[in-house]
């Protein structure tokens, strides 16, 4: 775990430094890519996560000011997708995600108006639709995810235990041991299947 965390910290810092070099040169496309990569090497409490998000936000604001909403969307979406891409039993960067939701919804509505997809008067309603979609949290259930893990582990252990202890050398089942192993096998398989459906 220490080696893995060290490698991730190194790759994160390396990607951020590359992003900084591109940022200083005004080479925005690779800068966005490198900051996005740095954020995907997520480590809790790493200051690089915040710095990368802040740089991407600045790039998005710059493109907005230049009248390039498509590029601004790429920068804001990178922040949002990076934080969602590293979520586990909690979602890091919720403040950034909320800020990006507002920007993305507004920019998408403005682009639809510009392209003739909707009328100017419909922009506010379109923005509300986007926000409703963004607020619908589809994260897996922590409880059912943990139950799925326990179900799989129990299923595997009961299968191995049944194979090694549920039968005699001749191949005949060992009464209670075989019955117990078989029931445990079925029970944990059911827990695993139901938990995957519910998660």
Predicted TM-score (pTM) of the model is 0.74
pLDDT of residue 56: 98
pLDDT of residue 103: 95
pLDDT of residue 21: 97
pLDDT of residue 26: 95
The CA distance from 25 to 29, in Å, is 11
pLDDT of residue 136: 83
pLDDT of residue 116: 87
pLDDT of residue 141: 83
Tell me the HSE value of 33 on the side-chain side, using a 13 A CA sphere.
Answer: 6
Indicate the SS3 state at residue 173.
Answer: strand
> Rounded to the nearest 10 degrees, what angle do helices 69-85 and 94-115 cross at?
150
Q: How far is CA 29 from CA 7, 107, 108, in A?
A: 25, 19, 20
pLDDT of residue 25: 96
pLDDT of residue 15: 97
Q: What is the DSSP letter of 141?
A: P
pLDDT of residue 82: 95
pLDDT tens, the chain, 199 aa long: 899 989 999 999 999 999 999 999 999 999 999 999 999 999 888 999 999 999 999 999 999 999 999 999 999 999 999 999 988 878 899 999 999 999 999 999 999 998 888 898 998 999 999 999 888 877 778 888 899 999 999 999 998 988 888 888 777 887 888 888 889 999 999 999 999 998 7
**Could you tell me the two tokens for 162?**
């049944």
Indicate the SS3 state at residue 167.
Answer: strand
Taking only the tens place, the pLDDT of each residue in 154-195 is 999 998 988 888 888 777 887 888 888 889 999 999 999 999
pLDDT of residue 28: 96
pLDDT of residue 117: 87
The CA distance from 162 to 95, in Å, is 50
Burial of 22 (0-12, 13-18, 19+ CB in 10 A): middle
Q: How far is CA 62 from CA 17, 59, 149, in A?
A: 20, 5, 45
Q: What is the DSSP letter of 121?
A: G
Residue in the block written with tokens 């994160």: 12
């Amino acid at each position: 775990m220490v080696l893995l965390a060290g490698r991730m910290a190194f790759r994160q810092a390396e990607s951020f430094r590359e992003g900084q070099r591109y940022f200083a040169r005004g080479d925005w496309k690779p800068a966005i890519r490198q900051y996005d990569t740095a954020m995907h090497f997520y480590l809790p409490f790493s200051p690089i996560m915040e710095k990368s998000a802040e740089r991407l936000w600045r790039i998005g604001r710059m493109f907005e000011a230049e009248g390039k909403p498509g590029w601004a969307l790429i920068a804001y979406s990178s922040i949002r997708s990076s934080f969602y891409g590293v979520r586990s039993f909690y979602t890091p960067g919720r403040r950034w995600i909320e800020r990006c939701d507002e920007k993305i919804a507004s920019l998408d509505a403005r682009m639809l108006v510009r392209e003739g997809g909707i009328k100017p008067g419909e922009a506010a309603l379109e923005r509300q639709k986007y926000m409703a979609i963004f607020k619908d949290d589809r994260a897996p259930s922590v409880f059912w995810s943990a139950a799925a893990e326990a179900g799989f582990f129990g299923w595997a252990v009961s299968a191995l235990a049944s194979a090694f202890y549920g039968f005699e050398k001749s191949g005949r089942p060992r009464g209670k041991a075989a019955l117990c192993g078989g029931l445990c096998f079925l029970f944990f398989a059911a827990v695993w299947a139901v938990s995957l459906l519910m998660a």
